A and B are shown apart, each in its own frame.
Chain A
Amino acid sequence: MGDRKTITIGVLALQGAFREHIESILRLSPDYPEYTINAVEVRRASQLDQIDGLIIPGGESTAMSVISNMSQMHKNFYKDQDLNVLQGISSSYLKSKKPVWGTCAGAILLSRDIENMNREYMSEGKKLLGQMNMTISRNYFGSQAQSFEKDIEVHIDGADKSYPGVFIRAPAIMNTDSDVQVLATLQFKDKNVIVAAQQEHMLATVFHPELTEDLTFHKHFIDMIVK
């Protein structure tokens, strides 16, 4: 066991269900005996150099974008590169092609086009990440009363399997460009919407794998890093 490689997965910890993702990742550690797997909370852009994969958790997408922008207030204490963690993800982390996975709010932040989002959070200087070639619609299924659980069929790692989807005020992916691979769809009110998709090193799920016992997606994400 002398030369085990270490991989470090960062979970954006501005707000939301970041601890559950860390716990899920650490639970998979025994599946990767040749690696030492770390999972850390990420709040500053300077931490992005130290991680091999990044998870952007569920939470409130507007809150996360506002919180990230506000970090510019603290330029007295932190270096320039620390000013805005979302900008850091957008300008350097994603360009390095290191894997990133957005769940729910995280999927919204990753999408190029966003429906049903207040324009103020999308104007120049307050940009979301916007690098997956798809259109996502916020709160697509309705308010909390319409939040639901449903088993969905996912096509992942060359196989079809049933997966316990937990959808909380969830968005839906309305369409994708041809370079985005659709991993799961869902029939909702006569319309087939996309609920999981991958574009190269970027993965998006509109549901919450961190709230279930099924670690299929967390394993898939670690595989994206170690491959």
Chain B
Amino acid sequence: MVTGTNGTTTNGDHKTGTFKVKTGLAQMLKGGVIMDVVNAEQAKIAEEAGAVAVMALEKIPSDIRKSGGVCRMTDPKLIKEIQAAVSIPVMAKVRIGHFVEAQVLQSINVDFIDESEVLTNADDEYHIDKNTFSIPFVCGSRDLGEAMRRVNEGAAMIRSKGEAGTGNVVHAVKHARAINSQIKKLQSMSDEEISDYAKEQRVPLELVQKIQKEQKLPVVLFAAGGIATPADAALMMQLGMDGVFVGSGIFKSTNPSKMARAIVQATTNYQDPHVIADVSTDLGDAMPGLNDKGLDERWAVKEYGPGVKGHVSTKIN
């Protein structure tokens, strides 16, 4: 058995942790809804509502916003309880740059790690070198450059950042549109411009060329950050996202089970307004929601250090 530095373990021709199996799991989640849950009971509700995976958290983002303290990885005990309760994949979050939290989650067989701006940053300069892990990572992005830097570090899935915990879909829409339009823009760029763009974004030229040619990211792209209703989920799907993450939107609504089912149905039938109308009917109250003016902190800007503009490969400042 040979364990490589790239997260791949080879035993004869039996290979684990390859990029194909990491991105492959993300492919299987497409068209689905991934739900934030804080205990085994919520995880069961999510599974029964048709979630394709759950994100195990100690607090959902809207409560993290209220708490104000340092937010860290979830207690492994809680994650294990959730793993025992459901048979769908279980994801969990680590702080940006906190590779030891990631080692811990890998050791307890979490299926996917979210290196997340929703938690407090652990490293102001570097993201985790995700290529060295055998389980897949999802990372948030606001634009194509950020998405490419995360993919280059080994992310197997990208999600829009949006603004988690707000119930306000505006930032998720902005990020989804930015990524899509920047991919389209590559089409009209000359070889020279592509080369300059790769340098400016500090990513390998081959990655930009591949995206230019295939007109899509080399990994699955989900929507996240502020999705609170079935119509929000369908909106993100119609904007070309492969699936959606829903955080506070479900368990902060008045009828979580009904809301969860409705969002799943709207995601599957995103092009069918009749279904979306049907599932949106008599749903009870969606989560209260928070407008930009009420935000103490913008999580989406977390790739940058304070007051510093511009992009640096795996560095944040």
Q: How far is the CB of B261 from chain A (nearest CB, A)?
A: 6
Q: How far is the CB of A84 from chain B (nearest CB, A)?
A: 13
Q: How far is the CB of A149 from chain B (nearest CB, A)?
A: 5
A151 vs B112: C-alpha distance when bound (angstroms): 25
Q: Which residues of B, 234-276, contact A by the 8 Å Cβ criterion? A: 261, 264-265, 268-269, 274-275
Determine if A217 is an interface residue (Cβ-Cβ < 8 Å): no
A80 vs B52: C-alpha distance when bound (angstroms): 27
The residue that A150 contacts in the complex, of B13, B265, B268, with Cβ under 8 A, is: B13
Determine if A46 is an interface residue (Cβ-Cβ < 8 Å): no
Contact residues in B for A17 (Cβ distance below 8 Å): 27-28, 30
The residue that A15 contacts in the complex, of B17, B21, B30, B48, with Cβ under 8 A, is: B30
User: A118 contacts B87, CB within 8 Å?
Assistant: yes
Contact residues in B for A142 (Cβ distance below 8 Å): 109
Contact residues in A for B31 (Cβ distance below 8 Å): 13-16, 18, 59
Contact residues in A for B47 (Cβ distance below 8 Å): 62, 118
User: A169 contacts B111, CB within 8 Å?
Assistant: yes
User: A148 contacts B28, CB within 8 Å?
Assistant: no
- B27-43 interface mask toward A, CB cutoff 8 Å, 1 = contact, 0 = none? 11111100000000000
Contact residues in A for B109 (Cβ distance below 8 Å): 142-145
Determine if B16 is an interface residue (Cβ-Cβ < 8 Å): yes
Determine if B151 is an interface residue (Cβ-Cβ < 8 Å): no
User: A169 contacts B25, CB within 8 Å?
Assistant: yes
Q: Which residues of A, 103-160, contact B by the 8 Å Cβ criterion? A: 104-105, 116-118, 120, 138-139, 142-151
A-B contact pairs, 11 of them (CB 8 A): A15-B30, A15-B32, A59-B29, A60-B28, A60-B32, A62-B88, A74-B265, A143-B89, A144-B111, A144-B136, A166-B21
A48 vs B186: C-alpha distance when bound (angstroms): 40
- B3-38 interface mask toward A, CB cutoff 8 Å, 1 = contact, 0 = none? 000000000011111101100110111111000000
A147 vs B31: C-alpha distance when bound (angstroms): 21
B→A interface (CB under 8 Å)? 13-18, 20-21, 24-25, 27-32, 47-53, 87-89, 106, 109-112, 134-136, 261, 264-265, 268-269, 274-275, 278-279
Stretch at the interface among A63-71, A91-99, A192-200: A63-71
User: A66 contacts B32, CB within 8 Å?
Assistant: no
Determine if A211 is an interface residue (Cβ-Cβ < 8 Å): yes
Contact residues in B for A105 (Cβ distance below 8 Å): 28
Known: A73-B278, A120-B48. A166 touches B88 (CB 8 A): no
Q: How far is the CB of B295 from chain A (nearest CB, A)?
A: 33
A161 vs B150: C-alpha distance when bound (angstroms): 38
When C-beta atoms are compared, the residue in chain B nearest to A66 turns out to be B50
When C-beta atoms are compared, the residue in chain A nearest to B279 turns out to be A73
A148 vs B135: C-alpha distance when bound (angstroms): 11
Q: Which residues of A, 49-68, contact B by the 8 Å Cβ criterion? A: 58-60, 62-63, 66-67
User: B17 contacts A145, CB within 8 Å?
Assistant: yes
Known: A43-B268, A166-B20. A58 touches B15 (CB 8 A): no
User: B29 contacts A60, CB within 8 Å?
Assistant: yes
User: A168 contacts B52, CB within 8 Å?
Assistant: no
Known: A17-B28, A17-B30. A144 touches B268 (CB 8 A): no
A196 vs B223: C-alpha distance when bound (angstroms): 35
The residue that A146 contacts in the complex, of B16, B88, B275, with Cβ under 8 A, is: B16
Known: A43-B269, A59-B32. A20 touches B16 (CB 8 A): no
Q: How far is the CB of A210 from chain B (nearest CB, A)?
A: 8
Contact residues in A for B18 (Cβ distance below 8 Å): 148-149
User: A144 contacts B15, CB within 8 Å?
Assistant: no
A211 vs B278: C-alpha distance when bound (angstroms): 35
The residue that B28 contacts in the complex, of A62, A149, A168, with Cβ under 8 A, is: A168
Q: How far is the CB of A85 from chain B (nearest CB, A)?
A: 10
The residue that A59 contacts in the complex, of B17, B52, B279, with Cβ under 8 A, is: B52
**Nearest 7 pairs between A and B by C-beta?**
A66-B50, A144-B111, A147-B21, A15-B31, A143-B109, A60-B52, A168-B24
A30 vs B29: C-alpha distance when bound (angstroms): 31
Q: How far is the CB of A138 from chain B (nearest CB, A)?
A: 6
Contact residues in B for A58 (Cβ distance below 8 Å): 27-28
Known: A63-B32, A120-B48. A70 touches B134 (CB 8 A): no
